[in-house]
Structure 1
């Protein structure tokens, strides 16, 4: 299997993939941040292509920002708590082997989230 970075988001409040959620991928180096990619999730709650393909994988620290608040607000027609309990959920992680695959899934509701290194 070729090295890559991928993600998958499940909406645990509704029991379905988080279709349409926006995600940002940032590369971090000390205090410096660089936006690498901004995408929206497809029908399966996944990106259409890997966030980083084999030729893009580099050792370093990264951050995925999941736009959870915007996603849940779109489902409720903008109704709900203001300010949102969860809005943008950041997940910082490291890639220590550029030849390996990294999968960073998110399970989320408007009030909670969890993540892990998937396969």
Structure 2
């Protein structure tokens, strides 16, 4: 099976999926930072389809940018401007053309974490 990339966002402050959060995927290569996809999370905090599907999958270096500030403001968690967290970039590499790579974000107004999921 060919590889693909998925992501999701959980709002750890409210204990629920982060619905309506914009995510942008970039490839990082000789050309610089090249936009590949932009999606918004659904009610489950996931994108409706892989952010990098099988037919477009490739190995290399990538960056997911999560529009956390917009989400936090919209969900009533925005404090005084500027917010502590606004855009959250996560840079990572994928080196297995056959693997499903999952990069989730656990988010609160003052912190976040990520990991290589399955």
Which TM-score band applies after superposition, normalised by the shorter structure? over 0.9
Q: Which residue in the other structure is 1:16 paired with?
A: 16
Q: Give 1:30 deviation, angstroms.
A: 4.1
Q: Deviations over 1:66-115 (max 9, x none)?
A: 011110101118x5221010000000000101211100000010100000
| Alignment of 1:95 onto 2:106 | no
Is there any run of 5+ residues in structure 1 with no aligned partner, and where? none
Whether contact under 8 Å (1:54, 1:99) holds in the other structure is: no
Q: Distance in 1 between matches of 2:26 and 2:46?
A: 18
Give the Cα separation in 2 of the matches to 1:18 and 1:95: 25
In structure 2, runs of 5+ residues without a counterpart are: none
- Find runs of 4+ consecutive structure 1 residues off by over 2 angstroms: none
- The whole-number CA distance in structure 1 between the counterparts of 2:31 and 2:54 is 26
Aligned length: 118
- Give the TM-score, by structure 2 length: 0.94
Q: 3-state DSSP class of the match of 1:91? A: strand
1:34 lines up with 2:25 in the alignment: no
What RMSD, in angstroms, separates the aligned Cα atoms of the two structures?
1.4
